[in-house]
Amino acid sequence: MEAALLGAQERGVLCWWLGSSI
């Protein structure tokens, strides 16, 4: 369960980083 939460958090950060860089 923790691994899934970490994966979701990482995906959120990636989406935020991509949106911020564009």
CA dist list (Å): 16 to 1, 2, 9, 10, 13: 23, 21, 10, 10, 5
User: Number of C-alpha atoms within 13 angstroms, CB side, residue 5?
Assistant: 2
What pTM was estimated for this model as a whole?
A: 0.43
Mean pLDDT of 1-22: 88
- % of residues, the chain, pLDDT over 70: 95
**Mean pLDDT score, 7-20:** 92
* Cα distances (Å, whole numbers) of residue 17 to 2, 8, 12, 22: 22, 14, 9, 9
Residue 5 clears pLDDT 80, i.e. is over it:
yes
Res 2: pLDDT: 84
